[in-house]
């Protein structure tokens, strides 16, 4: 008789074995499909075109030009003597000059309408880390954050996985262009109370991902009043602030706070990053700006888990402080994104697809409700699969963004050349034509 001997499997943590990373969702499945069969104009013209990744490549040349014209900047990398001066080993304050540069850049983006104190900036390796850090700081395990829908699919992971915090969606719909209403806020809050969850804060993205819209003044005021009345925190993720097509149309929460004389500012924390506006996601540069001293202190200490490379800080500092460069970059980048957006929306309209009227971001929010066989999440996913398999386009279904209205899709347009974009648009066109015939 054979005696089977099993090797004991050494147990791992719940975090290691959970699926809260959310990477089983269609949002990520589409990425995998792309990885396996990526489009290339010459070698793989029938491959999958990646329209599910919000990356900005439209203004990359400006960055390259800057480096070419300022070669002394790159030489700063050698400046280890300079490193020694700052005695930077594991310093989580970050380079003084770099924080000032970030503050300056953030002010430029807001058209000089607000001032930022560089001492309130805490650097993190990306906005992903910034959002998680703030969640650790403002909420205990088991608490909740309110997040307006639709929202960035990564939040499910970034805000919940290690922190043990819950997300309660604040549901928005197309009846009012997906704007956040007081009623929706109150409903979400009541839901949390009923489930015995303590709501510690509201996290909003302004401009919104995936909607591609900047929040209006009345809505921002409403939100500030709401969080004050409930004594909670507000995290304003303004990672796309430099990607609003026209600077007049973006109102940062910082502006409203300044107008109110900073009353209640201790509740508010802004998240930023260079990944979207500057198109430098590989550099891993994020920041938390908080009006709350305790949060700044704590975030700084916790940032030891997510520091920005000093080399990167040194490299970027002169460029971000160069107001001539940043003014021009922001203006040019905004213009190019607007042109792309208008182009995409027009082409889609021509073949019968409407998008939400947007004014920001690297994507458009496409309405494919008329194409659904059934107005359900299943119907939406079926359509998503068709688009992935037949059109070879990876777009993000609204359900992965927790949108309660089936049929909406996020389509990114800034992460590819105009030629590739044309190919993608022509695939939509042929698809719609075929449907009309049948």
Partner 1 sequence: MTRFSRASSNPSPETNPAPPRLKSDEGPAMRIIVPLQGVVQGRGGLVLGSLLPCALFYFLQLYLKSRNRPSQSPPSSPPTTLSTPDDHHASPSSPPSASGSTIHRTLSRGLLSPRSHPNVSSRAAAVARPDEDSLYYVGYKRCLRDPFHRVDNPEGIIQLGLAENRLSQDLILDWLEKNAYGALLGGDKPGELNIMGLTTYLPFDGSDNFKNAVAGFMGQVLQESVSFDPSQIVLTSGATPAMEILSFCLADPGNAFLVPSPYYPGWDRDIKWRTGVELVPVPCRSTDNFNISIPALERAYTQAKKRGLKIRAVLIANPTNPTGHVLSRDTLIDLLDFVTEKNIHLISDEVFAGSIHGESKFVSVAEVLESEGIDKTRVHIVYGLSKDLPLPGFRVGVIHSYNETVIAASAKLARFSSVSAPTQQLLTVMLSDKQFISNYLEANRQRMRRMYLLFVDALKQLGIECANSEAGFYCWADMSRYITSYSEKGEKKLWEKLLTVAKVNVTPGLSCHCIEPGWFRCCFTTLTEEDIPLVVERMKRVTQGPK
Q: How far apart are CA 40 and CA 236, in angstroms?
A: 37
Which tokens is 70 given?
């300022």
Give bridge partners of residue 286 from the DSSP assignment.
124, 273
CB of 286 to partner 1, least distance (A): 10
Which residue lies nearer to partner 1 by CB, 139 or 356? 139
Query: Does 239 qualify as catalytic in the annotation?
Result: yes
| 143, 158, 237, 322: the active-site residue | 237
User: What single DSSP character describes residue 151?
Assistant: -
Query: Does 347 qualify as catalytic in the annotation?
Result: no
CB of 198 to partner 1, least distance (A): 10
- Collapse the DSSP code of 101 into the 3-class scheme (helix H, G, I; strand E, B; otherwise coil) and give the result: helix
Query: Does 237 qualify as catalytic in the annotation?
Result: yes
CB contact burial 226-237 (16+ within 10 A = b; e otherwise) = bbeebebbbbbb
CB of 431 to partner 1, least distance (A): 28
Ramachandran angles phi, psi of 272, nearest 5°: -140, 170
State the DSSP H helix or E strand holding residue 67, giving kind and residue range, or none if neither. helix 60-69
Place of tokens 């909740």: 144
Which residue lies nearer to partner 1 by CB, 228 or 321? 228
Which residue lies nearer to partner 1 by CB, 158 or 380? 158
Query: Does 79 qualify as catalytic in the annotation?
Result: no
Instruction: Select from 260, 23, 30, 273 the least CA-distant residue to 157.
Output: 23
The angle at the Cα of 79, spanning 73 to 80, to the nearest 5 degrees, equals: 150
Give bridge partners of residue 289 from the DSSP assignment.
121, 270
| 49, 180, 239, 330: the active-site residue | 239
CB of 112 to partner 1, least distance (A): 16
The number of residues in the chain equals 438
Burial (CB count within 10 angstroms: exposed 0-12, middle 13-18, buried 19+), residue 275:
buried
CB of 55 to partner 1, least distance (A): 6
Which residue lies nearer to partner 1 by CB, 68 or 248? 68
Q: How far apart are CA 277 and CA 362, in angstroms?
A: 9
User: What single DSSP character describes residue 11?
Assistant: P
Which residue lies nearer to partner 1 by CB, 119 or 176? 119
Q: How far apart are CA 15 and CA 374, in angstroms?
A: 36
CB of 56 to partner 1, least distance (A): 10
| 27, 34, 39, 152: the active-site residue | 152
Which residue lies nearer to partner 1 by CB, 293 or 346? 293
Instruction: Select from 203, 200, 159 the least CA-distant residue to 180.
Output: 203
Residues designated catalytic: 152, 237, 239, 276
């Amino acid at each position: 008789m054979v005696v089977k001997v099993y090797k004991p499997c050494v147990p791992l943590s719940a975090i290691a074995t959970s699926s809260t990373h959310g990477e089983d969702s269609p949002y990520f499945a589409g990425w995998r499909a792309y990885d396996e069969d990526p489009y290339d104009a010459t070698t793989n013209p029938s491959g999958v075109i990646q329209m599910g990744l919000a990356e900005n490549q439209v203004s990359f040349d400006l960055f390259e030009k800057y480096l070419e014209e300022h070669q002394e900047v790159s030489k700063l990398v050698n400046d280890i003597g300079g490193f020694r001066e700052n005695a930077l080993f594991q310093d989580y304050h970050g380079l003084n000059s770099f924080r000032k540069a970030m503050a300056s850049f953030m002010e430029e983006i807001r058209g000089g309408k607000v001032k930022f104190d560089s001492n309130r900036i805490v650097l993190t390796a990306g906005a992903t880390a910034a959002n998680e850090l703030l969640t650790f700081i403002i909420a205990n395990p088991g608490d909740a954050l309110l997040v307006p829908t639709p929202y960035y699919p990564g939040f499910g992971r970034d805000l919940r996985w290690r922190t043990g915090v819950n997300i309660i969606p604040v549901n928005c719909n197309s009846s009012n262009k997906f704007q956040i209403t007081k009623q929706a806020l109150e409903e979400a809050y009541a839901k949390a109370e009923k489930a015995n969850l303590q709501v510690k804060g509201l996290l909003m993205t302004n401009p919104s991902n995936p909607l591609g819209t900047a929040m209006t003044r009345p809505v921002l005021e409403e939100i500030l009043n709401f969080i004050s009345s409930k004594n909670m925190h507000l995290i304003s993720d303004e990672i796309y602030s430099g990607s609003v097509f026209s600077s007049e149309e973006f109102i940062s929460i910082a502006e409203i706070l300044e107008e109110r004389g900073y009353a209640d500012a201790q509740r508010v924390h802004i998240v930023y990053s260079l990944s979207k506006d500057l198109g430098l996601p590989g550099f891993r540069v994020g920041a938390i700006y908080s009006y709350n001293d305790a949060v700044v202190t704590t975030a700084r200490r916790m940032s030891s888990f997510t520091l920005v490379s000093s080399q990167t800080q040194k490299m970027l500092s002169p460029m971000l402080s160069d107001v001539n460069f940043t003014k021009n970059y922001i203006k040019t980048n905004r213009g190019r994104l607007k042109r792309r957006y208008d182009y995409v929306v027009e082409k889609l309209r021509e073949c019968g697809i409407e998008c939400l009227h947007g004014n920001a971001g690297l994507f458009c929010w496409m309405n494919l409700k008329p194409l659904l066989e059934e107005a359900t999440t299943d119907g939406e996913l079926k359509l998503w699969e068709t688009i992935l398999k037949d059109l070879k386009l990876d777009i993000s279904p609204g359900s992965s963004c927790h949108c309660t209205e089936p049929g909406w899709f996020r389509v990114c347009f800034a992460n590819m050349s105009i030629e590739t974009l044309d190919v993608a648009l022509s695939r939509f066109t042929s698809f719609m034509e075929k449907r009309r015939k049948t």
